[in-house]
Structure 1
């Protein structure tokens, strides 16, 4: 038994194609982050693999590591440059694009959505009792629109399981939200997480730019200019040349690798990225490297105000969540397929992790503790 466990540990440590980036001497000699992910894969039976990236300019750390496999019951084969579906972290990119359009005076986030949505979409919302005149772009961004989340419909998941190859459209998903849910309250009064709100934001972006959402995100955020060369919209854009296949995405133990990516494509999700690329975007965004005006970032991070205490369920701002870990304020978002991206402003550091199969959110907590200790040395 001891020999077999030791063999697993050796596979985990040495079965990963490493790409260390710009590491300081501490990481080259004795890397606590690699030790952390190795231990999680060995001790947590639900986690088949982990890719992690640490970006901390003040500590001269830009490091990617991995442990384990990209598929359950597979030999350790993860690569540090292996892409994965970031799922709902796409919402941070969509919110960024909306705020960039606001900087260009092409919209106001306090405008009614009626000014930008198609007559068809507006009509569908009104027919089900939604007060579209009161639903603002801001309320879509911070999930206070009261619009039912199509992804929470049992019908949606049953349909996906019954026909995994079905190519979904934004209209179909909106129809499901209208047919299988109802308004969740008055706009701007309660928080209810809603992918439906973000597919509507995707439609708004397309209506203003005249381009696909994929092209709009790429152009508005400036993927090429910013060096985001390993980030793309799955199915809509081609995978970059020589890029490995994506990590298998799991939900409740089921592998959705072969399921058509349109199940999560139109603004609530859809992007594929690597840990270094995702960390680079977060680091750039929250150190004011994306917006033209500093006030735009302040708008993104302003606390959502509601007339009741339901906002305490999640501290969700505009496309980003905020929490406190080890006494540090943390800006973060999670994706359903196993991804977490977190920026810690006081440490000017970003931690991105992608799990094969099961989450272990403690990895962010422990990574922040390691960064804190390294800062004190």
Structure 2
């Protein structure tokens, strides 16, 4: 056999072996997902995606149904409400403004808020000149949140009520004065991100959802099914949004006006695949290209908290991970040691603990695959 023929044969064998390996690991991922759903049928539907620098690990799938009626299967790319996972996108948009030189993380919010909002905060006892952008993004502002049992009762009493951001900010002020001065305590609160979107809006001179889309480059990233629902136009290719449930409260996301969680604390609709793409692009410096600034996003601000800027720095399966979760059962994390992102959607909020269980099982398969590939 001629040398060139031998090389061609070896190349073909190598490619076939690589394809077989990738197919094998994808089959293992699917087995894990199927087994998890079989053990947790109350989850209704589960959607998972892995996006990695190593393309052989890329995979996404869904099992179960898109609603409790069990008439339609949950689609691999069907969108859902990602709730507080939205905060990572908002924080990234603010960091993009920092990268563009339009503000600094330690700028005070006093001069950046509207006059009405600033006056409302000041009248409630908040010193807006002492609260920074960094405080908002890290929930270290000391501002009381409006999302409490009283607010959830209001939502429950009238699930179709159309909320405004201003109403929700006012509710936060009615909750009382400062919990503590800035930089003293961590208190997770949507109010911080409502103020952040108001600031984005004022700096960009356009609706916050348009500004975030443009700053993060949704189109350039290929995020065709990621949008602020219902503030933006429904994507042409997107079918119906999956129903998401909270059985304990008898809540169905489809029966509720999304405005109760829409203005920055939540608000985005997306699928697991596009959430994983976003995290992968974010931590590959494809959005925020200043790596020093990107590193700040992953550093917790207060020593007693693992919350950084729009995400949490956690230990997962013995590895560092950058993570955020959402009210309706959505979880996303980036594992820098493996250069990959995992997103999981569980349509029943009360079953969302399985997201961590499923992710850990997938990571175990990934570790074995990488060991055997050496």
Above 0.5 in TM-score? yes
SS at match of 2:332: strand
Look up the match of 2:13.
none
Look up the match of 2:38.
42
SS at match of 2:174: helix
Q: 1:25: Cα distance to partner?
A: 2.8
Q: 1:59: Cα distance to partner?
A: 5.2
CA separation in 1, counterparts of 2:324 and 2:20?
Answer: 30
Correspondence for 2:197 among 198, 202, 207: 202
Q: Is the 8 A contact 1:81 1:244 kept in 2?
A: no
Q: 1:234: Cα distance to partner?
A: 0.3
Q: 1:76: Cα distance to partner?
A: 6.0
CA separation in 2, counterparts of 1:205 and 1:263?
Answer: 20
CA separation in 1, counterparts of 2:302 and 2:24?
Answer: 47
Look up the match of 1:129.
125
The aligned runs of 1:93-104 (5 Å cut-off) are 93-104=89-100
Q: Is the 8 A contact 1:142 1:316 kept in 2?
A: yes
Q: 1:303: Cα distance to partner?
A: 2.8
Correspondence for 2:214 among 199, 216, 219: 219
Look up the match of 2:155.
160
Look up the match of 1:13.
none
The aligned runs of 1:188-337 (5 Å cut-off) are 188-253=183-248, 254-306=251-303, 311-312=304-305, 315-337=306-328
Distance of aligned partners of 1:162 and 1:303 in 2 relative to their CA distance in 1, 3 Å threshold: closer
The aligned runs of 1:45-194 (5 Å cut-off) are 45-58=41-54, 60-75=56-71, 77-152=73-148, 154-194=149-189
1:351 aligns with 2:342: yes
The alignment yields a C-alpha RMSD, in angstroms, of: 1.6
CA separation in 1, counterparts of 2:141 and 2:246?
Answer: 27
Q: 1:29: Cα distance to partner?
A: 4.1
CA separation in 2, counterparts of 1:226 and 1:242?
Answer: 16
User: For each residue in 1:127-185, what CA deviation from the matched residue of structure 2 results, as whole angstroms up to 9, or x when unmatched?
Assistant: 11112121111000000001111112x23212211211111111100111111344211
Question: Which deviates the most, 263-272 or 175-184?
Answer: 175-184
Where has structure 1 moved over 4 Å in runs of 4 or more? none
SS at match of 2:54: helix
Q: 1:322: Cα distance to partner?
A: 1.1
TM-score calculated relative to the size of structure 1: 0.89
Question: Which deviates the most, 201-210 or 325-334?
Answer: 325-334
Look up the match of 1:10.
none
The aligned runs of 1:2-13 (5 Å cut-off) are none
CA separation in 2, counterparts of 1:25 and 1:172?
Answer: 56
Distance of aligned partners of 1:185 and 1:252 in 2 relative to their CA distance in 1, 3 Å threshold: farther
Structure 2: any 5+ residue segments left out of the alignment?
1-17
TM-score calculated relative to the size of structure 2: 0.89
CA separation in 2, counterparts of 1:192 and 1:127?
Answer: 21
Q: Is the 8 A contact 1:165 1:259 kept in 2?
A: yes
SS at match of 2:31: helix
